Amino acid sequence: MRPRRGALAAVLLLTLTACAPASPEPQAQPQPRPGQAAGRAEAAAPPLGTNGAAVPELRWAPCHGSFQCASAPVPLSYREPRGKTITLSVIKLPAKDPAHRAGSLFVNFGGPGTDGVGELTRFGPHYPEEVRAHYDLVSFDPRGIGGSAPVSCPGADEPKVEGSPLRPDQHDAFYAASATVGKACAAGSGELLDHLSTANVARDLDLLRQAAGDRELNYYGYSYGTYLGGTYANLFPGSVRSMVLDGTLDLVANATGKPGQEHAPVDVRADVAAAQQEELEHFFAVCAAAGPKCAFSQGDQRRKFADIFAKLSQGPIGGVTLASLLQTIDSALYLSPRWKSLGQTLNSLAASSAGAAGARPPVLDPYVPVHNGGFLAVQCVDSDNPQTPADYDKLAASEQARQPYFGLAAVFSLTQCIGWPGHDADRYTGPWNRQRKNPILVLNNRFDPATPVSNARATAAELGDGHVLVVDGAGHTSLDVPSKCAWDAVARYLGELKVPAEGATCAPDAQPF
């Protein structure tokens, strides 16, 4: 699971109407609907709701030009609602037509680890006039991030891979280096690390909803923001008016996994490697059809790529390593306008790699994503992950055989969570299908390398009231795949609470070449 930090390529063309009357905040846990799957709960379920915590007073002051900023004190632990507090940094872009203001639209731009204040200042002014006229756009830095009691990990601000988990002489050094961020965060952040689960962010969100004067929540979450949305929708099911989950995590896979997945890390449970492979195959097909517009279009793209991969497995080509190429591909799969550059990169490597796949060299230096403390402080407490190097070592061979190009990165991407010092007893692990009065719209690209469309379908089923709309494009979330058809469907949903028909799809507005 990787944080989303891509650029906003498009914004929703929304038409919003006034909020419906609110339901009171639930104080008891509704029973799951018959026939709906529920996530596994921990032995001691966290208390539902904000547990009597005081609603903060938001004293808005001008900031960043036309924006307004405020600070919001919230409990460090919702088990002690009148105990220690932390302060959240909150921002809004006020409705341009205050006389006809309909409420707030809360937005989370992904992560974990992405600051909402900075993202809204960058992208808020570009939202459609209809949204700008009638709704305050509201975001905040989630606890532990940015201006909201950020985690401190001295000496580990720029973590890097040291050694290889596949080389016996470097194996122990790799896992020792993976643990350095956690040790640094423990030294710099202390007890804060035990209160950074998404469930506590959802509790913060509910206090902010009330502080903003909204009786019900209108919410749009991208990538990790879909997990925040799904968590909120089950902690506060009676307080949800509308919710769009865009680029959707599988809620069960992200939290605990299904029975039998206990020894698989999150990205393996979500089968991110298969999604990346599927999009790479789509790139090959689109590149071939593009002809001269794609530098890698000549010949058999699959064979040429297999040769490049094999050649780089033996050593660098002109300074390009296997890990650096896979990182480049990873970036291009997130944003299809980068495909032209990817084609040029692959074409530059093809001539010196011809026939290399026949030797079948082993991969000894895989691409391993690394994460900063802000990401890990949330992901490592939200998700169950294997806790011994042996678990990852055992899985590496089978996943590489199943997904030769991307399987190893999915296996090793969260080795930094081994021995993570934080543990949030109030995280939420299900059930995910609490009764809500309005459906949830689940939007996903056909080819999304980080949040596969299979995850979106799984989450819709786990929610019980989720409805999937697929955009036939490639990239991560609809921000990177503009589609007027999809935006119109979202507008109808947010305005009228009407979801698209089952199996509905939308075409993207542009193609990569």
Q: How far apart are CA 232 and CA 169, in angstroms?
A: 46
pLDDT in tens, 66-79: 999 999 999 999 99
Q: Please answer whether residues 449 and 334 qualify as being in contact, where contact means their C-beta atoms are separated by less than 8 angstroms.
A: yes
Structure tokens at 129: 């006039």
pLDDT at 111 over 50: yes
DSSP state of 410: H
Please state which of the ranges 58-67, 313-322, 399-408, 488-497 shows the lowest mean pLDDT: 488-497
pLDDT value at residue 340: 97
H/E stretch holding 474 reads strand 466-474
pLDDT at 406 over 70: yes
Rg over CA atoms, the chain: 23
Residue with tokens 């490597």: 349
What average pLDDT score do residues 407-417 get?
98
Mean pLDDT, the chain, integer: 90
Q: How far apart are CA 20 and CA 69, in angstroms?
A: 27
pLDDT at 41 over 70: no
pLDDT value at residue 488: 86
DSSP state of 476: S
pLDDT at 47 over 50: no
Closest CA to 405 of 458, 456, 447, 449: 449
Rounded to 5 degrees, φ, ψ at 270 are -80, -10
pLDDT value at residue 203: 98
Please give, one letter per residue, the 3-state secondary structure of 414-440: CHHHCCCCCCCCCCCCCCCCCCCCCCE
pLDDT in tens, 3-30: 543 333 333 333 333 333 333 344 333 3
CATH classification of 61-150+197-256+431-506 is 3.40.50.1820, yes or no?
yes
Residue predicted with more confidence, 49 or 287? 287
pLDDT value at residue 492: 84
Q: How far apart are CA 331 and CA 325, in angstroms?
A: 10
Structure tokens at 368: 């391993």
Percent of the chain with pLDDT over 70: 91
Please state which of the ranges 1-15, 55-69, 92-106, 482-496 shows the lowest mean pLDDT: 1-15
The DSSP annotation for 53-76 comes to PPPPP---EEETTTEEEEEEEEES
Q: How many CB atoms lie within 10 A of CB 96?
A: 16
Q: How far apart are CA 199 and CA 41, in angstroms?
A: 13
Tally of CA atoms within 13 A in the half-sphere of 123 that contains its CB: 21
pLDDT value at residue 130: 76
What average pLDDT score do residues 454-463 get?
98
pLDDT in tens, 295-320: 999 999 999 999 999 999 999 999 99
pLDDT value at residue 10: 36
Q: How far apart are CA 203 and CA 428, in angstroms?
A: 11
Please give, one letter per residue, the 3-state secondary structure of 264-329: CCHHHHCCHHHHHHHHHHHHHHHHHHHHHHCCCCCCCHHHHHHHHHHHHHHCCECCECHHHHHHHH
Q: How far apart are CA 440 and CA 448, in angstroms?
A: 20
Q: Residue 471: which residues within 8 A CB-CB, separation 6 or more?
A: 443, 444, 445, 446, 478, 481, 483, 485, 486, 505, 506, 507, 508
pLDDT value at residue 2: 52
Tally of CA atoms within 13 A in the half-sphere of 370 that contains its CB: 20
Percent of the chain with pLDDT over 90: 83
Residue 239's identity, in one-letter code, is S
What average pLDDT score do residues 375-383 get?
98
pLDDT value at residue 458: 98
Q: How far apart are CA 180 and CA 171, in angstroms?
A: 15
Confidence of residue 262 (pLDDT cuts 50, 70, 90): confident
pLDDT at 345 over 70: yes
pLDDT value at residue 82: 95
Please state which of the ranges 41-45, 52-56, 192-196, 442-446 shows the lowest mean pLDDT: 41-45
Rounded to 5 degrees, φ, ψ at 72 are -135, 110
Closest CA to 279 of 410, 405, 152: 405
Residue predicted with more confidence, 201 or 20? 201
What average pLDDT score do residues 140-160 get?
96
Domain-wise residue ranges, the chain: 61-150+197-256+431-506, 171-186+264-417
Q: Residue 401: which residues within 8 A CB-CB, separation 6 or more?
A: 407
Q: How far apart are CA 349 and CA 469, in angstroms?
A: 38
Q: How far apart are CA 197 and CA 425, in angstroms?
A: 9
Confidence of residue 48 (pLDDT cuts 50, 70, 90): low
